[in-house]
Structure 1
Amino acid sequence: MTHTDIWRLTATDLTALTRSGKLSAEDAVQSSIERMHQANPNLNAVVEDLSSEALERARALDKARAQGASTGPLHGVPVTIKINVDLKGHATSNGVVALKDVIAPDDAPIVRNLQNAGAVVIGRTNTPEFSFRADTDNPLHGRTHNPWGRHISPGGSSGGAGSAVMAGIGALAHGNDIGGSLRFPAAANGAVTVKPGLGRVPAWNPSQKVERGLLAQSMSVQGLITRSAADLHLSMPSLIAADPRDPFHVPMPWHGAPCDGPIKVAFTKDTFGYALHPEVDKALDTARDTLIDAGYQVQEVSPPDVFECGRTGYRALMGEVLTLLKNDIEAAGSQTIRSIFDVYFQEFPPITGTELLQMMAKRSHYAREWSLFMQDYPLVLSPFLPQPFFKPDRDTEGAEGVHEVLGCAVYSYAMNFLGLPAACVPARLAELPQGSQPINIQIAARQWREDMAVDAAAAIESRVGQMCEPLWQKMGTSA
């Protein structure tokens, strides 16, 4: 492999070279920076170039290693950080013009954990305004494009992260997820992710002036978008390191105890009245058959009411948003985001007042039902979306657009309300009239068992392959 091709390596393959000394951190980072400069102009995935800082840090890592210092598990791995999380000395704009000069006084826990593990931040990735769309565009940095083509949204809100990592800009991409913001970009771009469960990854922004609402605290999580499932096993143990600034972090090990006998998987194609697209149907069949071949015991059985749980959870979140965030959106948001929120409130009528407190209390009922169900079925294989990923700006097209983008995504935000981990992995490359695009499915897991979801994603990936290779062939050498 030539120097210019190093960016193609997964984080797992890259660290085997950097930690052994066969490859310098500087060369690893330089190759990713060159790829960023080649590919990003057509994508606008990275909106702050940190090349100079990255190379300086990579050289420092090389010097430390030469002097006998031990290397971290992510030694020399180029990563990107989403612009809604604090990186010391840089703006945490969240895609909002009014926040463009909010400079972070310190690193967020996830940034600190990545850097403590030896990762090198090469750039900051785009997000929609207030990180509250399943698409990525904003007046401050503009639109992010999907490397598969402009017929597909890059997803959101971690759309810049998903686009960047699949284009080869960094081996790992940081993102976060309050209703699907890791999994939407993974599905849009053909990447792999796991939404961690509640309390798994420490979170806090030192730049924030007030604490987030209780539902935002309990539904939002930090994570990574990758090109391979193995990279999640490599990197997530570093992400879950404790940080005292998150008082609700739970210090559990990454790998849990093995299950007795074959792992039972609940398999469902239920889409609650939404039409299941034939390509999604085929992707689910492939995932099911792969897991059976891998020794899982897959049974077609419906989990507890996903639709009621998901809709209740998102309506409750909208009630909290209406109370705590709407004034900020009205004051600092563009007309586009204000209009989208007007439709959000129609699609998900906000639960407020006494009923909001009742539904927040009922969250434990839903979580208990799932906890009991998952005693028998530790994993649940389901659609992520019932149809292939939508086009850019679909959520600006009124009630019908928002319904297609978020209304049908109950398998996504139900997991946030429940606090359960959920992996998202491509199971098919579809050839559609508008062009080729990946089809991802979801694997939910028991609380604290992200590792089991990632194992299942790895099994599916072993049959389907990583989507980066066909994507890079499609992109061509000019990106």
Structure 2
Amino acid sequence: MAGKPIWQLSASELVERLAEQQISAEAAVTATVDRMRATNGHLNAVVDDLGDEAIEQARTLDATFNKSGLVGPLHGVPVTIKVNVDQKGKATTNGVKAFADVIAPDDAPFVKNLTNAGAIVIGRTNTPEFSFRATTTNDLYGRTFNPWNDWASSGGSSGGASSAVMSGMGPIAHGNDIGGSLRFPSAATGAVTVKPGLGRTPAWNPSQKAERGMLAQLMSVQGIICREVRDVRLAMRSAISYDPHDPWQAPVPFEGPALEAPIRVAFTKNTYQFETHPAVIKALETARDCLIDAGYEVVEVETPDIGEIGEAGYRALMGEVNVLMLDDVRKYGSAEINRMFDEYFELFPPFEGDELLRQMARRSRYIREWNLLLERYPLVLTPFLPSPTYAWNRDAEGKDGIMDVLGCGIWSFAMNYMGFPAGIVSSSMHDEMPVSVQVVGRRFREDMILDALESVETRVGVMAKKLFERGSV
């Protein structure tokens, strides 16, 4: 086939070519599996290779297509699934050695939504222990490398997903996010994502033995990481299909009503007590200019205090983790992750007892203040981290390292605590690595966030194309 190789095609391009019978699902999946096997030996993004069964599924899909046409909007698209979510017959390890034999009795709803739409799972991707680090490494599978260079982190906790998608192991990767686990990896690798808001995508593991804590229910979401914004949009339309196992999910259409132009965007460079790196300022100003060029009205504002909200959210979640999760960390976690949890608790002392209840009540005030801001400005362009990509093990280098990576991620964590959707796109480069910005939006307006991300991407280019042109993966 003339032009770029099949494994470099976007999901949108693949579906179009499959529908027109220019390529088969078997050809698309085989090319991507071959790419995965050629590249994964170094990157270690996929830790469970499902390529052989994926190719068989693709053959079956081709036979179905010959009889009745496309099975869904993701017909024949190769995807990966993170190992902390159930896939029938596969281990839901969450990056922990002791969970290697936790075999899922059924697919999680998010997995079903993708496969019901025609997607084919080619592998399962790496995550740190308990999915609780901003870099991806563990004693069970080892470290996942960043496809740009070996020094940088691939992000966490969906680092396997971001490394896989950016290196060509499928155009769509599943991930999830309780404090930044879709956005940290996307920022680290130049991928694009939108962290869905509360109630947008279904979350439930059939293998679970206990219910998640209330804050985990309110903050954690399932989502998509891709190389291109249009593929996030394509996948999300299927991923949001309603499932009654999740008591928070609301069956709301993906596209909301059009707003009168020009859409107003609030803009801030404020990283509070953390010094903002010049490369981040450049990325923010570039993204601002892209949005203005696309017809948005961008106004620099002072937002409600993200420093306070981010810290409150972190300490509240630590309070819940201390009660509901820490016993498992102590029993099954490595010495390194246990030391890091000790440091988390020192840096972000858990709210306990009455104070935890008061802080959870205060959460509604934070949301109300941001609702009022978003009433005036439906989108907000913000920093993500105050500095560009960090070294792969920086968060394990004591309390200073944790603050340099997680502690300064207040713009990430606050959005989970309040339940707002937030997208990531890279708008510039620094030291031959992408530098990202964040766009926040109203609840159930991920579509508007994606519009804004696409306006930036259209003008600065798709980062994966720069990576492929460089030939480093």
Q: Which residue of 1 aligns with 2:318?
A: 318
Q: Is the 8 A contact 1:148 1:475 kept in 2?
A: no
Letter in 2 for 1:463: R
Separation of aligned partners in 2, 1:439 and 1:202: 30
Separation of aligned partners in 1, 2:73 and 2:348: 42
Deviation at 1:244, TM superposition (A): 1.6
Separation of aligned partners in 1, 2:116 and 2:95: 27
Deviation at 1:340, TM superposition (A): 0.8
Is the partner of 2:89 in helix, strand or coil? coil
Q: Is the 8 A contact 1:117 1:238 kept in 2?
A: yes
Q: Is the 8 A contact 2:75 2:118 kept in 1?
A: yes
Deviation at 1:98, TM superposition (A): 0.3
Separation of aligned partners in 2, 1:244 and 1:286: 42
Letter in 1 for 2:350: P
Q: Which residue of 1 aligns with 2:35?
A: 35
CA RMSD of aligned residues (A): 1.0
Deviation at 1:248, TM superposition (A): 1.9
Separation of aligned partners in 2, 1:208 and 1:274: 38
Say whether 1:423 aligns with 2:423. yes
Letter in 2 for 1:27: A
Separation of aligned partners in 2, 1:4 and 1:263: 36
Letter in 2 for 1:343: E
Deviation at 1:3, TM superposition (A): 9.8
How does the TM-score come out when normalised to structure 2?
0.99
Separation of aligned partners in 2, 1:301 and 1:459: 21
Stretches of 4+ aligned residues off by more than 3 angstroms: 1-4
Q: Which residue of 1 aligns with 2:440?
A: 444
- Per-residue CA deviation, residues 210-232 of structure 1 (Å, 9 max, x unaligned), is 00000001100000100011111
Separation of aligned partners in 2, 1:2 and 1:325: 52
Say whether 1:58 aligns with 2:58. yes
Deviation at 1:4, TM superposition (A): 8.4
Superposition pairs for residues 48-447 of structure 1, below 5 Å?
Answer: 48-431=48-431, 436-447=432-443
Separation of aligned partners in 2, 1:70 and 1:194: 27
Is the partner of 1:316 in helix, strand or coil? helix
Unaligned runs of 5+ in 1: none
Q: Is the 8 A contact 1:318 1:350 kept in 2?
A: yes
Is the partner of 2:68 in helix, strand or coil? coil
Separation of aligned partners in 1, 2:55 and 2:3: 15
Q: Is the 8 A contact 1:385 1:408 kept in 2?
A: yes
- Per-residue CA deviation, residues 389-422 of structure 1 (Å, 9 max, x unaligned), is 1101101111100000111110001000110000
Q: Is the 8 A contact 2:198 2:248 kept in 1?
A: no
Separation of aligned partners in 1, 2:104 and 2:115: 16
Is the partner of 1:330 in helix, strand or coil? helix
| Aligned-residue identity in percent | 57
Separation of aligned partners in 1, 2:249 and 2:284: 34
- Per-residue CA deviation, residues 98-155 of structure 1 (Å, 9 max, x unaligned), is 0000000000001000000000000000000000000000000000000001111000
Q: Is the 8 A contact 2:54 2:120 kept in 1?
A: yes
Separation of aligned partners in 1, 2:247 and 2:346: 35
Separation of aligned partners in 1, 2:469 and 2:233: 27
Deviation at 1:245, TM superposition (A): 1.3
Is the partner of 2:365 in helix, strand or coil? helix
Separation of aligned partners in 1, 2:275 and 2:103: 45
Say whether 1:470 aligns with 2:470. no
Is the partner of 2:107 in helix, strand or coil? coil
Separation of aligned partners in 2, 1:81 and 1:235: 13
How many residues matched? 473
